[in-house]
Amino acid sequence: MRPFILAGFLMVTAVSPAISQSSGQGDVSVTIYNSNLALVQDVRQLNIPAGRSIQSFPGVSGQIRAETVSFTAPNSGIVEQNFDYDLLSPSKLMEKAVGETVTIVRINPATGSETRERAKVLAANGGVVLQIGSRIEVLRDDRLPTRVIFDKVPENLRARPTLSVTLNSSRAGTRPAQLSYLTSGLGWEADYVALFDEKAGKMDVQGWVTLTNNTGTTFDNAKTLLVAGTPGVIGRNNYSSRNNVRSAGIESADREMLGDFYLYPLAARTTIANAQTKQVSFLDVTGAPAQKTYEYSNRWLGTQDEPQSVDTVLEFSSSSDGGLGDALPAGTVRVYMKDASGQPQFIGENNIGHTPMGSELGLKTGEAFDVKVKPTVTERKRLSASKWRTSMTYEISNARPDAVTVSLIQNGLDFYWDDTRIVSESMTSKRRSSDSLVWKVPVPANGRTTVTAVFETRF
């Protein structure tokens, strides 16, 4: 075996046969979920003797959930299974050698002469303590060429994560055996690249599956299936975060479903290497309608000493008629626009949740430089023990050379009670819910618009 080289010229050598680095995998299928979870199904041809035997399965995930392992082979049954996840490394070799005897080889740098001593390893906790004859010595990194030679590799140290299964077989012979298990460390999400043309009111969108493997194992030539959805897993938070959907769609996507999840199979088998991020295209749309809007949300009794930038929001649809035409897996949408020279430039990003086809979406991509709102509580008057009158002024300024429309949202109207009443307003609002309303405020180019409103509440 080639020596393991450590810092400071310390080398560790094991005098035992080489351990095979072959994955040992067979026909592998991997189903990967969004929630850092995957189902691995591995069919291998095993030569199983009659009676009781131990079969080893190298090349399983280093983050295998051992309690989920399922093994099936004709005329065979499982007696016991063990998962060995202690991987062969110089430090692990030294840890396992505590209480054992090794050979220390030192080379005199001046003469080149070699000295060998047998030593008992007393400890390997942050450093190696040896007993050589009657003396106790610490194996130091003193820049002197030193090797440690081990008589053997401990049986429970593996070159890669290995599952061993004790079988009881009623006959001898080669047959297919399927190993299935759940594992962490494999996950995927969608990444979307959107090129927005504001003047044309259109955007081009390319969707990518971004697949990440941190299991410690490479899956060779795997049939890969991606599941868009969040299956319930005990001990994990399955609550979804804000998904930027304004209106949920009711169209069915032309994709295979598994229960309530959509399936995104990769077109060809692929090797999912450990510590690798792989991207595969699944959506390519040109000229989908889109528009930029401006929004500002004000909390109840929200007043600002200085004008605040409004949010820049990109609105589009996932519908089949005039939209992206697909169900959209959760992921990140990154938006670009072309500058005067025609070069695409990044203008912002936001997340979407799992979105049905036919949905209307609004993604905040940033804050406007030239469009601002200054909300002010101009009067708070107590009318009775359980009634207050609140007067608000919202001054909206626009330094752009073109007119804009700002969705001015007042939240918190019924945060505590449900009897808020609008006494007066300078322009007609639309009630979004019992808790909020919105004004669609036109603001002229290089101009200002002021909105006033009076509310009566119990607080």
| Domain containing residue 310: CATH number | 2.60.40
Per-residue pLDDT, 393: 98
Q: Is residue 405 part of a domain?
A: yes
- Between these two residues, 84 and 298, which has the higher pLDDT value? 298
- Total number of domains in the chain: 1
Burial, 214: exposed, middle or buried (Cβ in 10 Å; 0-12, 13-18, 19+)? middle
pLDDT of 417 > 70? The answer is: no
Which residues span the domain enclosing 381? 292-457
Name, in order, each residue with C-beta under 8 angstroms of 455's C-beta and a sequence gap of 6 or more. Answer: 389, 390, 392, 413, 420, 421, 422, 423
Q: Answer whether residue 378 is part of any domain.
A: yes
Q: Is the pLDDT of residue 44 over 60?
A: yes
Categorize the per-residue pLDDT at 22 as very low, low, confident or very high, splitting at 50, 70 and 90.
very low
Task: Please report which confidence band the pLDDT of residue 9 belongs to, taking 50, 70 and 90 as the band edges.
Answer: very low
167, part of any domain: no
pLDDT band for 198, please (50, 70, 90 cuts): very high
Sorting pLDDT into bands at 50, 70 and 90, what band is 273?
very high
DSSP 92: H
Question: Measured between alpha carbons, how far is 59 from 403 in angstroms, rounded to an integer?
Answer: 62
For residue 351, being part of any structural domain is answered with yes
The pLDDT confidence band at residue 214, using thresholds 50, 70 and 90, is very high
User: What pLDDT is stored for residue 452 in this prediction?
Assistant: 98
What is the reported pLDDT for 416? 56
Residue 282 within any structural domain of the chain:
no
Question: pTM of the full predicted structure?
Answer: 0.71
Backbone angles phi, psi at 90, to 5 degrees: -55, -40
Is residue 68 in some structural domain?
no
Picking from 149, 65, 58, the residue whose alpha carbon sits closest to that of residue 102 is 149
Q: What is the pLDDT of residue 18?
A: 27
Both structure tokens of 88: 């062969």
158 part of a folded domain? no
pLDDT band at 233 (very low <50, low <70, confident <90, very high): low
Q: Does a structural domain hold residue 453?
A: yes
- pLDDT the model gives residue 347: 96
Provide, rounded to the nearest whole percent, the portion of the chain with pLDDT above 90: 49
Task: Determine contact, residues 224/272, Cβ cutoff 8 Å.
Answer: yes
Query: Of 170, 188, 149, which Cα lies nearest the Cα of 11?
Result: 149
Residue 245: its pLDDT value, please?
77
Mean pLDDT for the stretch of residues 194-205:
96
pLDDT band at residue 13 using 50, 70 and 90 as cut-offs: very low
